[in-house]
């Protein structure tokens, strides 16, 4: 049995299947953990979700910002833009079943035995492990509940970018979603910056990559995340493991096997090939 960790598939079904074949992934014995953004940008979001759905208990999904966007578009609370590449999914006969499965997935994965954390974007430097678990669970309960569309309608907000223990419930949820699914850079006081997506090699102080901030869990856990394709080629020190190498932009789909700490990659395939 092996655990494979991957991120930011973005509808790149062909590359996903080639990568799994390359690693001899066994869907009867192995486990696939995904650090978010299954969908959008790539051409085959529907195929990706259907395949992962078929894996049942062999897959563990941590939702990313594009996955939340798909759920929100399907619920009618966000506009379906061309760059989403959601049309095929939205017209599929099984889309309700798939959405109901998707919205019941996790926002954060913490494996206490192996000391692994998986988040799409990261964990706030203002939080310890217990705080992160608590607020991830709060989001998950809302997403999996009957009123999830109302929750999504109110929760997206760029203005909630600074942690305060006195935040009201809605603003706490907004901040938590921004951390788990959108965070890249922080200011020295921990305030989030949503506008900068560049490589850290091109960015100066006071912007600091979130993983270079002080974290209470960094000496104990290995932390896997995606969301930040411009990190490709940037030196990121352990215990942080970025996995988004921009396959949907012509880069690579990258997977990490936990047992032997080995990386596997599959390059983007031209769509006319």
- Number of Cβ within 10 Å of residue 168's Cβ equals 9
Burial 8-17 (b: 16+ CB within 10 A, else e): bbbbbbbbbb
The whole model's pTM is what?
Answer: 0.96
Instruction: Respond yes or no on whether the N-terminal peptide bond of residue 96 is cis (omega within 30° of 0).
Output: no
Tell me the domains of the chain and their CATH numbers: 3-267 (3.60.21.10)
Mean pLDDT value of segment 19-36: 97
**What is the percent of the chain where pLDDT is above 70?**
99
Q: How does residue 270 score in pLDDT terms, banded at 50, 70 and 90?
A: confident
**Does the pLDDT of residue 271 top 70, yes or no?**
no
Could you tell me the two tokens for 222? 């290995």
232 pLDDT above the threshold of 90: no
Kindly state the average pLDDT of the residues 101-106.
98
Query: What is the mean predicted confidence (pLDDT) over 4-22?
Result: 97
How confident is the model over 173-198, as pLDDT tens digits?
Answer: 999 999 999 999 999 999 999 999 99
Q: Please, which pLDDT band fits residue 233 given cuts at 50, 70 and 90?
A: confident
At residue 272, the pLDDT reads: 54
What is the distance between the alpha carbons of residues 3 and 18, in angstroms, rounded to a whole number?
Answer: 17
Q: How far is CA 159 from CA 140, 173, 209, 211, in A?
A: 22, 12, 19, 22
Write out pLDDT tens, residues 160-169: 999 999 999 9
**Cα–Cα distance measured from residue 246 to residue 241, given in angstroms and rounded to the nearest whole number:** 15
- Res. 218 pLDDT band, cuts 50 70 90: confident
The separation between the first and the last C-alpha atoms of the chain, rounded to the nearest angstrom, is: 33
């Amino acid at each position: 049995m092996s655990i494979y960790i991957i991120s930011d598939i973005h509808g790149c079904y062909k590359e996903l299947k080639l990568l799994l074949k390359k690693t001899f992934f066994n869907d009867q014995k192995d486990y696939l953990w995904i650090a978010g953004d299954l969908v959008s940008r790539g051409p085959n979001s529907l195929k990706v979700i259907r395949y992962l759905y078929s894996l049942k208990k062999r897959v563990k999904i941590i939702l990313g910002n594009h996955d939340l966007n798909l759920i929100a578009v399907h619920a009618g609370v966000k506009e379906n833009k061309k760059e989403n590449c959601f049309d095929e999914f939205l017209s599929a006969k099984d889309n309700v079943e798939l959405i109901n499965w998707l919205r019941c997935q996790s926002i954060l994965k913490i494996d206490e035995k192996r000391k692994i954390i998986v988040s799409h974007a990261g964990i706030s430097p203002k939080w310890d492990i217990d705080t992160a678990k608590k607020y991830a669970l709060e989001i998950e309960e809302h997403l999996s509940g009957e009123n999830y569309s109302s929750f999504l309608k109110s929760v997206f907000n760029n203005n909630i970018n600074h942690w305060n223990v006195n935040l009201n419930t809605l603003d706490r949820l907004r901040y938590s979603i921004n951390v788990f699914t959108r965070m890249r850079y922080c200011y020295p006081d921990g305030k989030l910056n949503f506008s900068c997506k560049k490589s850290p090699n091109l960015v100066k102080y006071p912007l600091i990559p979130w993983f270079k901030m002080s974290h209470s869990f960094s000496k104990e856990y290995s932390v896997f995340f995606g969301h930040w394709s411009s990190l490709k080629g940037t030196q990121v020190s352990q215990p942080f493991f970025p996995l988004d190498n921009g396959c949907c932009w012509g880069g690579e789909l990258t997977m990490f096997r936990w047992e032997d700490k080995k990386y596997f990659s599959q390059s983007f395939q031209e769509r006319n090939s």
